[in-house]
Structure 1
Amino acid sequence: MLLFTTLGRYLTLRFARAIISVFGTFFFLIGTLDFVELMRRAGDSPIATTPRIITLALYRVPSVAEQIFPFAALFGGMFALLTLSRKLELVVARSVGVSAWQFLQPAAVVAGVIGLISITVYNPVAAELKRRATALETRLFVRAGSTTSTAIPEIWLRQRSADGMAIIRAAGALPDEDGLSQVAIFNFNQDGSFKDRIDARQAFLKPGHWDLLDARIISAAREPRNVGSFQLATNLEPEQMRQSFTPPEAVGFWSMPAAIERTKRAGLDTTRYELKYQSLMARPLLLIAMVLVAASVSLRFFRFGGVTKLVIGGVAAGFVLYVATQLSEELGSSGIVNPVIAAWLPAALGTMLGALALLHQEDG
């Protein structure tokens, strides 16, 4: 097998260096642009000092940069193959009987290994940093006099308890506590009939109940009444509550199965989390597909000309595959397509089409 020969190790090193270099370049550019944008926003916050802005930018960049792994595989593969072709190293390899499929083995292995590392090591770190970035951003850029996180949209929860079912709507989450602000709770009896509505300024989740502050209770059976404090039974746990408005990007790969199970127990929709989990699982195959796309446009000898058009075509094909992946994920997150199909179909089709193009080019 070529992978374990001297030539295989050389090609493996070249492909790994090219992909990592491209990813590092994009990572630096994203970090720089994000830092500039955060410095612009810092003028509205007196506590947003430069060291804190730098820290926030470093927290945010890994999660954003995670989206460019497919492009790193595409551009890195193209760069490595074009360099090898320009230096006639591929010509020499072909002259001794090494086929395109053989010297693409190291590229596919490198792409697969980088994909595995990205989901098992990089993704959990990026998710943890994203959670820290959300908390820090809330403290730095929250509007003066407001305790609601501006980074979190309106929150909806559903719970079941001994008193029946309740639907909870909140304007936002409290930044540093297990609580919600500007809460409206719609309570239903065990038979599903409407019981009452409770509006509260804040709601704090305690073991087995909600503590509601400045509550107003409205029901059809009696006159509305205001109470300074009110307790409502609940089966929700703090982790379940946070999970309901935690984006899938803030949940690491290893924590995703437990997060999906907690979300199911809370009676919430798990489609977004299942889709994210399956997308992470499919990433190694997607990177391999990008390498095959890169190979289908980068193996032409320079002396034959037309390399520029092929490169442009390869970049366009890579973008089309990425757009198709995003479109498929959108269909999956909306429930139109099964999350497993939505996550795996673009990667599988990209791999097959890349292999088909290489078969036509090399063996056709």
Structure 2
Amino acid sequence: MHISRLDLYIFKLTLFGILVAAGGVCLSIILVDIVEQLRNVSGVANANTFTALRFTLMRTPGILELALPFAVLVGSIVTFMRLARSSEIVAMRASGVSTWRFLSPVAVLAALVGLFAIFILGPSAARLNLAYETQLQALTAVATTKTGEGGRTMMWIKDRGPDLQITVSAEAGSAGQYSNVTLLAFSKTDSRFVARYDAKTARRTDQSWTLFNGVKSSIGTQATPFETLSFPILKDRLDDSQKNKDATARAMSIWDLPRAARDAEAAGGSPQRYWLQFHRKLALPIALLSMAMIAAVLSLSGDRFGQRAIMAAAAIAAGLLVYFVNDISGALATAGYAPSWIAAWCPPLAALFIALATVSYREDG
């Protein structure tokens, strides 16, 4: 296939518009999400503004993946408005260039962006989201306060064991060593208070808490001293099954979704949400192509600026309508009223066919 200079010009112009729209989305995400991250890390030891900014940047690819159809829609609208305002579309059509000819580079670019999102952006966003969740959980499990006497730094640490939820107050030491330790143990099933342990020193590892030279107190019994007492704890790092259980289907990579669906079905749960997201990710190039074609309707509008503005608003409204229809079909599939592949593929295909029919009608009559 011969690639002309006109094809490259429209391709570059559309790519620039999509990048500008995606950049605006990323900037909006950073400005809004950093406030939430500052709230999450406030009062946490070893956390500052740069920690919140790092968390925000880790979340940005995942949110950008969700907003990518609107970035393509807005970028395509900007491209066609620029071509219409400079009368380049009129010049191309007057020279005998078909509408399908100058829409082809836009369609190819939309498909390429969709493939990029499937194979690069999506898996990267899934890994960064998992790292964000793990780091945030590990960071917010420890809080610091100042005692009134001497201004000593105290650590408040939450851990979970096989049968107990553990909350520890202690003076921070080095290499996992603590002093003036108070450990509160609660039942993992019903959060009922079990006992309190006061110790002079303690040591924490990835596997356990070990208390030295302390006293155990519980309701209805006398305090009993002990020399050494250990509490097994679960590691902060989640294994693969826990990752799949805790991560939402939307935040998972396309490579992990089939396994997560099979695991959910084997455990007696519903695999519908995983298969729905799997097919949605596969259908993303079609969804982006439909957004680009919806924006293409703008190129065949009238010459006056007012008409172009109305068509741009109509294209945005059509994109929002496709989004809501896609959301409703997803809810039906999750509830079991429709197959996942139908719910994922029908809305973007319907939008694409309607847009192509509109362009064909305006072009050929």
Normalised by the length of structure 2, the TM-score is 0.72
Cα distance change on mapping 1:22 and 1:296 into 2, 3 Å: same
Distance 1:41 1:33 in 2: 13
User: By how many angstroms is 1:141 displaced?
Assistant: 3.3
One-letter amino acid of the counterpart of residue 90, structure 1: I
Cα distance change on mapping 1:240 and 1:304 into 2, 3 Å: closer
What is residue 7 of structure 1 aligned with on the other side? 6
One-letter amino acid of the counterpart of residue 250, structure 1: A
SS at match of 2:39: helix
One-letter amino acid of the counterpart of residue 248, structure 1: A
What is residue 171 of structure 2 aligned with on the other side? none
Unaligned runs of 5+ in 1: 150-169, 172-180, 186-198, 202-227, 230-236
Deviation per residue, 1:293-340 (Å, 9 max, x gap): 111123324347522211111111111111111222222222222111
What is residue 95 of structure 1 aligned with on the other side? 94
One-letter amino acid of the counterpart of residue 336, structure 1: Y
Does structure 1 retain, via aligned residues, the 8 Å contact 2:322–2:347? yes
One-letter amino acid of the counterpart of residue 249, structure 2: P
User: By how many angstroms is 1:148 displaced?
Assistant: 6.9
Bigger drift between 131-140 and 344-353 goes to: 131-140
Cα distance change on mapping 1:182 and 1:21 into 2, 3 Å: farther
Does structure 2 retain, via aligned residues, the 8 Å contact 1:70–1:290? yes
Does structure 2 retain, via aligned residues, the 8 Å contact 1:44–1:141? no
Alignment length (residue pairs) = 292
One-letter amino acid of the counterpart of residue 327, structure 1: I
What is residue 141 of structure 1 aligned with on the other side? 140
Does 2:349 correspond to 1:333? no
Does structure 2 retain, via aligned residues, the 8 Å contact 1:120–1:254? no
Identity rate, percent: 28
What is residue 183 of structure 2 aligned with on the other side? none
Does structure 1 retain, via aligned residues, the 8 Å contact 2:118–2:254? yes
Pairing of 1:58-137 with structure 2 (within 5 A): 58-137=57-136
Does structure 2 retain, via aligned residues, the 8 Å contact 1:240–1:263? no
One-letter amino acid of the counterpart of residue 140, structure 2: F
SS at match of 2:300: coil
What is residue 283 of structure 1 aligned with on the other side? 284
When Rg is computed on C-alpha atoms for both structures, the one with the higher figure is 2
Does structure 2 retain, via aligned residues, the 8 Å contact 1:124–1:252? yes
Cα distance change on mapping 1:22 and 1:135 into 2, 3 Å: same
One-letter amino acid of the counterpart of residue 299, structure 2: S
What is residue 308 of structure 2 aligned with on the other side? 307
Does 2:56 correspond to 1:45? no
Distance 2:274 2:159 in 1: 25
SS at match of 2:63: helix
What is residue 17 of structure 2 aligned with on the other side? 18
Distance 1:58 1:133 in 2: 10
CA-based RMSD of the aligned residues comes to: 3.2
Unaligned runs of 5+ in 2: 144-155, 166-185, 195-229, 232-237
SS at match of 2:299: coil
Distance 2:100 2:158 in 1: 59
What is residue 211 of structure 1 aligned with on the other side? none
User: By how many angstroms is 1:48 displaced?
Assistant: 2.8
User: By how many angstroms is 1:46 displaced?
Assistant: 4.0
Distance 1:263 1:270 in 2: 6
What is residue 243 of structure 2 aligned with on the other side? 242
Distance 2:257 2:109 in 1: 25
One-letter amino acid of the counterpart of residue 285, structure 1: I
Distance 2:242 2:345 in 1: 30
One-letter amino acid of the counterpart of residue 133, structure 2: T
One-letter amino acid of the counterpart of residue 33, structure 1: V
What is residue 344 of structure 1 aligned with on the other side? 345
Deviation per residue, 1:20-43 (Å, 9 max, x gap): 221122112211211122223433
Does structure 1 retain, via aligned residues, the 8 Å contact 2:18–2:75? yes
Deviation per residue, 1:39-72 (Å, 9 max, x gap): 2343343443222212111111111121111101
Normalised by the length of structure 1, the TM-score is 0.72
Does structure 2 retain, via aligned residues, the 8 Å contact 1:86–1:301? no
Distance 2:13 2:288 in 1: 16
What is residue 167 of structure 1 aligned with on the other side? none
SS at match of 2:283: helix
User: By how many angstroms is 1:184 displaced?
Assistant: 5.0
Deviation per residue, 1:179-204 (Å, 9 max, x gap): xx96559xxxxxxxxxxxxx999xxx
One-letter amino acid of the counterpart of residue 25, structure 1: G
Cα distance change on mapping 1:55 and 1:304 into 2, 3 Å: closer
